[in-house]
Amino acid sequence: MTGMDILLVEPDIVLAETLRRAVNGAGHRVRIARTAQMAVEAVDTAVPELIILELQMVSHSGIEFLYELRSYHDWQDIPVVILSHVPPGEFSGSWQLLREELGVRAYHYKSRTSLKKLLGVVNQFVVVS
């Protein structure tokens, strides 16, 4: 198994660092973006193999980031996993919109997702060479 390049879009720096350490410890490389703008810049610098995204951010939502991400041809196929404080049932859009239009592969509610479960989700995207 080869580690992946992952972009974690998470405004809470303490949580972001905790998640980064855990995912790095599993052999992956994690970059952190705290805002949607930082995330776009990070993807432009080096396209990640997976994006883990919080929907609640300052100034732009995770959904706005997804629309911008998918507007670029080269970024349309990057897998995105939502890890959010927003419960799936309270999201103003629909799971169908997220999955079909925005290419979201999974939606996890933070309060119900352990680090072990998150690592399992990440490992589903690892390409075995």
CA dihedral 68, 59, 91, 125 (to 10 degrees): 50
**Long-range pairs for 65-72: beta carbons < 8 A, 24 or more residues apart:** 65/9, 65/36, 65/39, 65/40, 66/98, 66/102, 66/103, 66/104, 67/102, 68/36, 68/40, 69/39, 69/40, 69/43, 70/101, 70/102, 70/103
**Which pLDDT does position 129 carry in this prediction?**
44
Tokens of 121: 């989700």
Q: Does domain 5-106 correspond to CATH entry 3.40.50.1820?
A: no
CA atoms within 13 A on the CB side of 102: 23
**Which pLDDT does position 5 carry in this prediction?**
96
Model pLDDT for residues 46-77, shown as the tens digit of each residue: 999 999 999 988 778 888 999 999 999 999 99
**Which pLDDT does position 48 carry in this prediction?**
97
**Which pLDDT does position 65 carry in this prediction?**
93
**Which pLDDT does position 96 carry in this prediction?**
74
Q: Which residues of the chain have pLDDT under 50?
A: 129
CA–CA–CA angle 3, 110, 12 (5° rounding): 80
**Which pLDDT does position 7 carry in this prediction?**
98
Best CA proximity match to 51, nearest among 68, 90, 25: 68
Tokens of 53: 């995204």
Residue type, 58: V
